[in-house]
């Protein structure tokens, strides 16, 4: 399984609530349109300050986007499809309405999971 993570920051003139509403009712649908047939999962994790944590109000982004692909070949094919002129133009136009595009960061991750059991 291949997993890509993207950190997205909203434009400063958009509230967190408006950003989430516009993402879920608009940008998400564009993502689904172009990822259909390639991605196995498309998850948005909206960030909010953690009370009591150091630097509680400082967030590096507003949403953590996670997309899973079954294998490298499917990921590569999806990237080709997303870079087609029509897809790229539609995605870029909507990104400009929502995100601070200079702060978008994408990367691949390798996951390791621990099993945490109750103390005996």
Domains of the chain: 2-49+60-109 (3.30.70.100)
Residue 2: CB atoms within 10 A of its CB come to: 19
Indicate whether 52 pLDDT > 80. Answer: no
Is the pLDDT higher at 53 or at 56?
Answer: 53
C-alpha to C-alpha distance for 81 and 35, rounded to whole angstroms = 9
pTM value is 0.87
pLDDT for residue 58 is more than 80: no
pLDDT band at 54 (very low <50, low <70, confident <90, very high): low
Cα(20)–Cα(48) distance, integer angstroms:
12
pLDDT in tens, 72-112: 999 999 999 999 999 999 999 999 999 999 999 999 999 89
- Put residue 11 in one of left, alpha, beta given phi > 0 → left and psi -120 to 50 → alpha: beta
């Amino acid at each position: 399984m291949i997993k890509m993570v993207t950190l997205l920051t909203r434009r400063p003139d958009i509230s967190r609530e408006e950003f989430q509403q516009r993402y879920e009712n608009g940008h998400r649908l564009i993502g689904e349109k172009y990822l259909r047939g390639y991605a196995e999962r498309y998850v948005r994790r909206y960030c909010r300050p953690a009370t009591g944590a150091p630097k509680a109000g400082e967030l590096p982004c507003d949403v953590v986007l996670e997309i899973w692909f079954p294998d490298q070949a499917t990921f590569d094919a999806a990237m080709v499809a997303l870079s087609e002129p029509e897809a790229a133009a539609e995605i870029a136009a909507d990104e400009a309405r929502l995100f601070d595009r200079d702060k978008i960061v994408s990367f691949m991750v390798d996951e390791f999971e621990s099993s945490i059991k109750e103390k005996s």
